[in-house]
Structure 1
Amino acid sequence: MKNLIPMTLLMISALSITISPVRAEQQKWGSDVMRVSQTQLQAEHWLEKLQGSEQVLMTGVQISSHNRAMVEHNRFISDPLLTHEVLSDKQLNGKIHLISKVPTSARYYIDGRKLTPNDYATYQDNMQFTPTEQGHKVEYGLIVKRAAMRTFPTDDRVLNSGMDADLDRFQESALFPGDAVAILTRSQDSQWALVQGFNYLAWTRVENVALASKEQVQTFTKAADFIVVTGAKVFTQYVPEQAAVSEQQLDMSVRLPLVTQNEVPNALYGQNPYANYVVWLPTRTTQGQLSLQKALIGRSQDVHLGYLPFTKANVITQGFKFLGERYGWGHDFNGRDCTGFVGEIYRSFGILMPRNSGDQGGTAYGIDHHFTKTTALADKLAAIEQLEVGDLLYIPGHVMLYLGEENGQPFVIHDVKGLAYFDDKNRLYKGTLNGVSVTPLLPLRLSVKNSYVDRLYNIKRIR
């Protein structure tokens, strides 16, 4: 980036961006000072700016090494298959309370009623287990459908005092079909399981998980020939009277083994499969056991044989596939939030990352450029000037992905709920984006006092 610091030192307090509908022929949103054009909402615009965009940034071997190091050294990444096969009462109790903590702040149901100690006691009673000196045997399985991960074993939507119905504070994350999990315990009503995924521990409905042996799970997840979902969402083909494999949603980063050619019949579910990928899809029997079934994914669907090469061009292309998707706190609303957004992009290259922004930005992996509360604004702007496409910018509670610069101004793509900036009269405007958006970085504010840049605490480059 060129000429960033002189321009921004003069303009950072006055820059504004207005995002509003316009006629197609206007081809822009915003003011003459700062705007987001329709052209800037196209991946091709940013791809044209790249030099060396096809250079592979990490090979498959390097990515595998990265993932092993994350499992070994980053406490927010796990291999579920390495979970202890038996947990003591104390260990299991510790796992439960690692996720299922009663919050210190007030919480409210959708109808406005404040949660009471009795409400929490109901959830806690459902998490009780029978103590045993023999310990609690851990089970293993595969996720069979998009699975909400919850703080407590309940579907109750719970809000904070702001009563923003978009932010269910019991919603933690989500797992996707084919994800391996360790099942640590079940709820008293047998409807929920406490599961450890690759980057999160939380409660999910039992119906989302198919039990399998550790060996079965390992064979599935380590298959050499597989496809990766590279679209925001793709679907298996429609199959009459076969709901388990019919029109099943698969989110970006889902990895499914390919059925070997000698196991592919000439006709499958009444369709010749030659124009499809035939994959093994995990399904759940009525007894809760794993049943791998053949499923068809049209070759027109946005999938890739093996992981995508990790290049700057692919980072941009993957990010724009989510453009406009509604923000979903903790993967709510069949979407994702800021960390889910970057996590699924990078996982389509095979790269594992922690779930939450503080865990991503606050732990050491890749190349980190940390800032303290006393770091001068000029020093942060100098670091921003050296950004490369795909770099991740962290402020408390949020992460953004760097796209490139335009007229000396850095632009990011991020999954963001709120929008605040100083308007052309230097008044703080507060609005909403509530989705995956392209924005300039410098005008964005958290408050009158603090801009995003003021609160920037880390820039992470995945290498």
Structure 2
Amino acid sequence: MRLGYWLILLLCFGSSCLQENVYAKSDIPMLTTDHLSADFWLAKVADADQLLLTSAQISARNSKTFALQPEMNRLADLPASLPAARLAAIIDSASASAKHPRFYANGEAVTASQWQTYRQNLNSEAVKADNPVRFALVVKRTDLRSMPTEDRVHNEQMALDLDRFQETALFPGEPIAVLHLSSDSNWLLVQNYHYTGWVQAADVAIGSRQQVLDYSEQTPFLLVTGARATTSYTPAVPAISKLLLDMGTRLPLLSTDDTGHNVHGQNPHASYIVKLPVRNSDGSLAFTPALIARQQDVSIGYLPYTPANVLKQAFKFLGDRYGWGHDYDSRDCTGFIIEIYRSFGLLMPRNSGQQGEGRYGSNIRFSDQSSDSDKLDAISQARVGDLIYRPGHVMLYLGSDNGEPFVIHSVHELAYFSDMGATEDSQTQSTPALYQGILNGVAVTPLTPLRLSADHSYLDKIYAIKSLR
């Protein structure tokens, strides 16, 4: 009996050691299993439940962002039509020619003839002297692209996860303005609140301006607060069955007064009833009720904007695959940040440069002459949820552990100097080697070891810290 007791203890001890060793072998320096929990970081925040901005202050902040950032678009302010010169300029900007060679996944370069085919589908010759602006609602998660094609193209490094035609994504119920139609009639040039690009026509439903704008403002509303949610399986209406909904998606709420007690063959007592847009066979807009089970991660209205909720929202994405431009039904660095803050009703520009260079929020800016010490001093004063920018990338600050600042971010690359594989010179002095691995997902990392190359660290390229308080 005593022997069996010690065997059990030994097995338990061995199992726990094995679990720890799994993380000890991580190629992310300084990382421990504790760092992978929002609670670990929340324990370091004295005022984690402090309300940072009220709903009225968030609304005012959004108004300021729209006023200061030219890439932000209030759809209600769009004119009834666009003159030829303005629409042509929008097409040229959304579908600008690549500055560097592009390649298909098989390694073949995109030829001049192939580029011409893409450009012909822009249908620029169809631009009229006066071009009506139409309005639509998105009916399913869909890609927004720089060219009206599903073809994927890549840079010279052949990073196949990065499709250079992919810009961002649009989400069910999102209002958009429709500006133009492709030559093959399969794509629409559209504008949402912070981006312009091409979307497949089959994924949107055209309605009146008033229908579309009213839908986006309806209250009460249900907000997706999980990394993702889905509507219930609905065999009677396949278009709304198991529909993917990303964090921050806002849908009007209905009640049984609107629908009765049978919604497409299911009793709604244990679900939320939402109003979803659907596309008629002619492309026009209609609406139908849909169910979202109450066990899903959703909220009636926006979440309170507190440090605790910022961290909890961020960690809901931990381990998700990196998705350039919201590819792979996922998100990139800025998409990750945008969806966290949409949970509170805060709206932001789409690209990291637009965010980091933007004048909204409280900014600490660094010049080329700023030292790493200057930056570390500023980071030590940052608060949880603040945003740290380097060219092409944004990170959310978690706090520090043992003096090292940590961040959570959706990131593709991983590089740092390591003693493993170090070389020795004639004086037998060890020179650390540059380790290059991959993250390709939402990860928690220390800040100071990370490198872009042997010559440049993340730290020396940081140019701004932004606080949305």
Is TM (by shorter chain) over 0.5? yes
Give the 5 Å matches for 1:127-138.
Answer: 127-130=122-125, 134-138=129-133
Is the CA contact 2:68–2:359 (under 8 Å) kept in the aligned structure 1?
no
What is the identity, as a one-letter code, of the residue corresponding to 2:373? A
| Aligned mates of 2:26, 2:208 — CA distance in 1 | 59
Give 3-state SS (helix, strand or coil) of 1:432's partner.
Answer: strand
Unaligned runs of 5+ in 1: 1-21
Residue matched to 2:447 = 441
Give the 5 Å matches for 1:355-394.
Answer: 355-394=350-389
Q: Which of 176, 179, 186 in structure 2 is aligned with 1:184?
A: 179
| Aligned mates of 2:179, 2:26 — CA distance in 1 | 54
Residue matched to 1:243 = 238
Residue matched to 1:49 = 44
What is the identity, as a one-letter code, of the residue corresponding to 1:247? K
Which structure carries more relative contact order (alpha carbon 8 Å, separation 6+)? 1
Q: 1:33 to 1:214 in 2, by over 3 A?
A: closer
| Aligned mates of 1:26, 1:133 — CA distance in 2 | 66
Q: Which contiguous aligned blocks of 4+ residues in structure 1 show a shift greater than 6 angstroms? A: none
Question: Which string of whole-angstrom CA distances, capped at 9 and with x for unpartnered residues, describes residues 275-321 of structure 1?
Answer: 11000011111111111110000111000110111110011000011
Give the 5 Å matches for 1:137-286.
Answer: 137-286=132-281
Tell me the CA shift for residue 30 of structure 1: 5.7
| Aligned mates of 2:288, 2:211 — CA distance in 1 | 14
Q: Which of 392, 407, 410 in structure 2 is aligned with 1:412?
A: 407
Residue matched to 1:19 = none
Unaligned runs of 5+ in 2: 1-16, 423-431
Give the 5 Å matches for 1:335-354.
Answer: 335-354=330-349
| Aligned mates of 1:130, 1:382 — CA distance in 2 | 55
Residue matched to 1:452 = 458
Question: Which string of whole-angstrom CA distances, capped at 9 and with x for unpartnered residues, describes residues 178-234 of structure 1?
Answer: 111000001011000000011110001001111111111121111120011011110
Question: Which string of whole-angstrom CA distances, capped at 9 and with x for unpartnered residues, describes residues 420-454 of structure 1?
Answer: 00113421101100000000111111111111110
Task: Give the TM-score normalised by the residue count of structure 2.
Answer: 0.91
Give 3-state SS (helix, strand or coil) of 2:405's partner.
Answer: strand
Is the CA contact 1:328–1:334 (under 8 Å) kept in the aligned structure 2?
yes
Tell me the CA shift for residue 272 of structure 1: 1.3
Is the CA contact 1:225–1:258 (under 8 Å) kept in the aligned structure 2?
yes
Larger Rg: 2
What is the identity, as a one-letter code, of the residue corresponding to 2:335? G
Is the CA contact 2:118–2:149 (under 8 Å) kept in the aligned structure 1?
yes
Q: 1:255 to 1:33 in 2, by over 3 A?
A: closer
What is the identity, as a one-letter code, of the residue corresponding to 2:62? N
| Aligned mates of 2:171, 2:349 — CA distance in 1 | 16
Is the CA contact 1:227–1:257 (under 8 Å) kept in the aligned structure 2?
yes
Structure (1 or 2) with the greater helix fraction: 2
What is the identity, as a one-letter code, of the residue corresponding to 2:445? T
Residue matched to 1:104 = 99
Q: 1:31 to 1:295 in 2, by over 3 A?
A: closer
| Aligned mates of 2:27, 2:338 — CA distance in 1 | 34
| Aligned mates of 2:225, 2:368 — CA distance in 1 | 38
Q: Which of 297, 307, 320 in structure 2 is aligned with 1:302?
A: 297
What is the identity, as a one-letter code, of the residue corresponding to 2:440? N
What is the identity, as a one-letter code, of the residue corresponding to 2:354? D
Q: 1:34 to 1:193 in 2, by over 3 A?
A: closer
Is the CA contact 1:412–1:440 (under 8 Å) kept in the aligned structure 2?
yes
Give 3-state SS (helix, strand or coil) of 1:427's partner.
Answer: strand
What is the identity, as a one-letter code, of the residue corresponding to 1:102? S
Residue matched to 2:9 = none
Q: RMSD of aligned C-alpha atoms?
A: 1.6
Are residues 1:326 and 2:321 paired?
Answer: yes
Give 3-state SS (helix, strand or coil) of 2:31's partner.
Answer: strand
Is the CA contact 1:392–1:400 (under 8 Å) kept in the aligned structure 2?
yes
| Aligned mates of 2:114, 2:259 — CA distance in 1 | 52
Q: Percent identity?
A: 46
| Aligned mates of 1:25, 1:160 — CA distance in 2 | 39
Q: 1:409 to 1:377 in 2, by over 3 A?
A: same
Q: 1:262 to 1:374 in 2, by over 3 A?
A: same
Is the CA contact 1:235–1:249 (under 8 Å) kept in the aligned structure 2?
yes
